[in-house]
Amino acid sequence: MEALSAIAAHDEVPGVFAPAAPAGAGSADLPFARLVSEGLHAVDAQLKTSQTDLQQLALGEALNLHEVMIRLEESRIAFQLMLQVRNRVLEAYQDVMKMQV
């Protein structure tokens, strides 16, 4: 029964780049820089949590290995997503800089 409750805790994983918007405000109201900043902070927080989980695992203090592995994989995917977004933005910037005015 404890295993099922541990799995149920991971049913609703919050989005990495989905910032908590104030009531009544849409995401169109937020400036792009703020969205990027919040996304980077979310990825950073996930990576720090994963690092802490790895340290606890190395010390033998981790209770559930599968939860540690799930959080590690989530942070890896979030980091890869961040890198792909960065690559696309950089590519778009370079395309704009190549345009002749």
Tell the residue number behind the tokens 């949590």, with chain if given: 49
- Side-chain-facing half-sphere of 98: CA atoms under 13 Å: 6
Give the number of other Cβ atoms within 10 Å of residue 75's Cβ: 21
Summarize pLDDT for 64-96 with one digit per residue, the tens.
889 999 999 999 999 999 999 999 999 999 999
Summarize pLDDT for 26-50 with one digit per residue, the tens.
556 778 889 889 999 999 999 999 9
Give the number of other Cβ atoms within 10 Å of residue 46's Cβ: 20
pLDDT of 28 reads 62
